[in-house]
Structure 1
C-alpha cells in the first residue's frame, strides 16, 4: 500500500504542477468565458431599430405604433422630406412609406450603416394593419374580425412510458433533461481525451525511456497500475472541484448584475425537470465512463515500445470517444433501434444514455440497467487490463501495437496452461 501511495503522489503532484494540466483546467473555462462574453456583447449591442412611418391613414399609424417593441419602434412623420432628414441625421434606421390608394402599398428605405430591420416582422405588422383597414371599410366589428381570423388552439403533451403507465412531460422539461445529458456527454468526452491521453503518456514515457525495469524492481506492476490510476482520478476530482467553485461563484455574480445576460436563456429552461435522481445518475455515469476510458488508456499505453508510438495508443480512445459523442448528438434529436442498442454498449452508453434518460426516451430502470452493465464491464475490464499490464509493461515490440497485443495474448494463454508435473 505504501509503494502504491508513492506512485499515486508522484503522478498526482507531477501533473498538478505541469502546464499541460493547467491548460486542461483553464481551457474550457477560457472558452466558456469567451462565448459568454460574445453572448453578452451581442445582447448589449442589440439596439432598437427606429423606423419612420409616412402615411395618410391614422389607423395604420396606430396599428404600427401599437406593434412597437424592444427590437423595432415605429415613429410617425408628417412628410417624406422630414423622415429623410431624420434618417440623414442618423435618428432613423429606415423610412416606411405606406400608400392606401388604390390598394395598400408599402416601400422601405433602409440605412446600410444603421441597425438591422427585421423585414419579416415588418411584413407581419403590415399584414395586420391592412386587415384592420379592410375590416374598417367593410364595417366589421372587432368581435367579427377576431372570429374570422381565429386559429384553433393545438395543445401538445409529451408522454413517456414508465412501468406501463403514461407519464406526461412538458416540452421545456424534455429539452432541459436532454440538455443536461448532452452537457454531461460533452464533459465526459473532454475528460476522456485529456486524462486518457495523460495516462497513456505516463506509461508510454516510462517504457520508452527504459526506466520501467528499475521501477518494477521495487514495486509490483499491480501497485504501479492502481497508483497511476488513483493519481489520474485525483486530478479529475480537483478539476471538478474547481469547476464547481467557479460555477457557484459565477451564478452568485450573475444574480448581482442589474441585467442578467443569461436571463433570456433561462426562460427556456425548466429546472424542475432536472431531478435529484437524474443528477445522481449523471454523476455515476460520469465517474464510470471516465474511469473505463482511463483503464483503456492504461492498456493501450502498456503496448507501446517507445514514445513515438504514444499517438497510436490514444487513437482507439479518441475514436471510441467520438463515436459516443456523435451518438449523443444524434440521439438527442430522436432514436432508432441501432441507437437504442448502442446506448447499452460500454464506451458508448456513457455519453448516450444520459441524453436518452434526460429526453424521456427511456425509464429510470433502463438507465440504471445500462449503468449496471457498464459497472460490471468496468470491473471485468480492469481485472483483464491488470493481467495484460503485468505482461506488457516489460515487453517491447517494434512491430506495432497489434503485434504487441497478440504477443501479450499468447503469453497470457501460456501462463494459464498447467505446467507438467515432473516425475
Structure 2
C-alpha cells in the first residue's frame, strides 16, 4: 500500500501543477464565462423594436396597438412624412404604411441599423385585419366570424411506460429531462477525453522513455496500475469540487443582480423531471463511465513501444467516446432498435442511457439494469486489464498497437500454460 501511495502522490501532484491540467479545469470555465457574458450582454442591450404605423383606418390602428408587447411596439402616425421624420431621427426602427382601398396593402420601410423586426408578426396582424375587413363587407357578425375560424381543439399527452403503468409526462418535462441527460453525457465525454488521454500519456511516456524497468524493480505492476488510476481519479474529483464551488458562488452572485438572466433561463425549464433518482443515476453512470474509459486508457497506454505511439493509444478512446456522444445526441430526439441495444453496450451506454432516462424512453428499472451491466463489465475489464498490464508494461513491439495487443494475448496464453492452476 505504501508503494501504491507513492505512485498515487506522484501522479496527482505532478499533474496538479501542470499547465495541461490547469487548462483542462479553466478551459470550460472560460468558455462558460464567455457564453454567459454574451447572453447577459444580449439581454442588457436588447431594446424594444418601435414601428410607426400609418393608416387611415382607426380599426387597424387599434388592432396594431393591441398587439404591442415588450419586443415590438406599434406607434400610430397620421401622415407618412411624420413617420419618416421620426425614422430619420432614429426614434423608430421601421415605418409600416397601410392602404385599404381598393384592397388591403402594406409596405415596410426599415432602418438597416435598427432593431430587428418580426415580419411574421406583422403579416399575422395584417391577415387578422384583412379577415375582419372582409367579414364586415359580408355582414358577418363577430360571433359568426369566430365560429368560421374556430380551430378544432387538439391535445397531445406524452406518457412513459413504468412497470406496466402509463405515467404522464409533459412535453416541457420531457425536453428538460432529455437536456439534463444529454448534459451528463457531454460531461462524461469531456472528462473521458481529458483524463483517459492523461492516463495513456502517463503510462506511455514512462514506457516509451525506458524508465519503466527501473520503476518496476521497486514496485509491482499491479501497485503501479492502481496508484496511477487513483491519482487520475483524484484529479477528476478535484476538478468536480472546483466546479461545484464556482457554480455555487456564481449562482449566489447572480441572485444579487437586478436583472438575472439565469432566472429567465431556469423559468423556461421544467425541473420536476430532474428527480433525485435521476441525479443519483447520472452520478453513478458518470463514475462508472469515466472509470471504464480510464482503465481502457491504461490498457492502450501499456501497449506503446515509444512516445510516438501515444497518439495511437488514445485513438480508440476518442473514437469510442465520439460514437457514444453522437449516439446520445441522436437518441435525445428519438430512438430505434439499434439505439436501444447500443444504450446497454458498455462504453456507449454511459452517455446514451442518461439521455434515454431523462427523455422518459426507459423505466428506472431498465436504466439501473444497464448500470448493472456496465458495473459488471468494469470489474471484469479491470481484472483483465491488470493481467495484460503486467505483460505489456515490460514488452516492446515496433509493429504498432494492434500487433502489441495480439502479442500480449499470446504471452498471456503462454504464461497460463507454463503455470497451470493446481487442483
Q: Please, what TM-score do these two structures have when normalized by structure 2? A: 0.97
Is the 1:331–1:356 contact (alpha carbons within 8 Å) kept by the matching residues of 2?
Answer: yes
CA deviation vs aligned residue, 1:208-246 (integer Å, no higher than 9, x gap): 111111111111000000000000000000101111111
- Rounded to whole Å, the distance in 2 between the matches of 1:304 and 1:137 is 85
Q: State the shift of 1:265 in Å.
A: 2.5
Q: What is the CA–CA distance in structure 1 between the aligned matches of 2:114 and 2:303, rounded to whole Å? A: 62
* Cα pair 1:60 1:130 within 8 Å, conserved: no
1:226-245 mapped onto 2 (5 Å cutoff): 226-245=226-245
Output the CA distance in 1 between the equivalents of 2:175 and 2:147.
34
The residue aligned with 2:383 is 383
**What are the equivalent positions in structure 2 for 1:95-134 lying under 5 Å apart?**
95-134=95-134
What residue in structure 2 maps to residue 164 of structure 1?
Answer: 164
1:12-411 to 2 correspondences below 5 Å: 12-411=12-411
CA drift at 1:135: 3.4
Counterpart CA distance in 2 for 1:383 and 1:149 is 70
Contact residue 60 and residue 133 of structure 1 kept, 8 A: no
CA–CA distance in 1 between the matches of 2:128 and 2:244? 50
Mean alpha-carbon deviation: is it higher for 345-354 or for 68-77? 68-77
What is residue 413 of structure 2 aligned with on the other side?
413
CA RMSD of aligned residues (A): 1.4
Q: Is the 8 A contact 1:324 1:347 kept in 2?
A: yes
Distance of aligned partners of 1:223 and 1:79 in 2 relative to their CA distance in 1, 3 Å threshold: same
Q: Partners of 1:178 and 1:405 in 2: how far apart?
A: 38
Deviates more, 1:59-68 or 1:145-154: 145-154
Q: Is the 8 A contact 1:64 1:129 kept in 2?
A: no
User: Aligned partners of 1:82, 1:418: CA distance in 2, in Å?
Assistant: 100
Instruction: Summarize deviations over 1:154-200 as a string: whole Å, max 9, x none.
Output: 11110011111111111111111111110000000000000000000
Identify the range of structure 1 (147-156 vs 89-98) with the bigger mean alpha-carbon deviation. 147-156
Q: What is the distance in 2 between the residues matched to 1:204 and 1:42?
A: 46
Q: Give 1:396 shift.
A: 1.1
The runs of 5 or more residues in structure 2 that have no matched partner are none
- How many angstroms does 1:418 deviate by? 4.6
CA deviations 1:50-86 (Å, max 9, x no partner) are: 1111111001001101111111111111111111111
In structure 1, C-alpha distance between the alignment counterparts of 2:252 and 2:148, rounded to whole Å: 50
Aligned mates of 1:409, 1:53 — CA distance in 2: 80
In 2, Cα distance between equivalents of 1:62 and 1:337: 55
Aligned length: 421
Q: CA deviation at 1:419?
A: 5.2
Q: In structure 2, do the counterparts of structure 1 residues 304 and 78 end up closer, same or farther at CA, with 3 Å as the change threshold?
A: same
SS of alignment partner, residue 262 of structure 1: helix
Segment of structure 1 superposing worse, 321-330 or 29-38: 29-38
SS in 2 for 1:417: helix
After the TM superposition, which of the residue ranges 262-271 and 134-143 deviates more from structure 2? 134-143
SS of aligned partner of 2:73 = strand
Segment drifting more, 357-366 vs 37-46: 37-46
Helix, strand or coil: the match of 1:109? strand
Matches of 2:84 and 2:418 in 1, distance apart?
A: 98
The answer to which of 321-330 and 153-162 deviates more is 153-162
Q: Please, what TM-score do these two structures have when normalized by structure 1?
A: 0.97
Distance 2:418 2:84 in 1: 98
* Residue 138 of structure 1, CA deviation: 4.2
Cα displacement (A) at 1:377: 0.3
Cα pair 1:97 1:108 within 8 Å, conserved: yes
* Residues 59, 133 of structure 1: 8 Å contact kept: no
CA distance in structure 2 between the aligned counterparts of 1:253 and 1:137, rounded to whole angstroms = 60
SS of the aligned residue for 1:95 comes to: strand
Deviation (angstroms), 1:263: 3.4
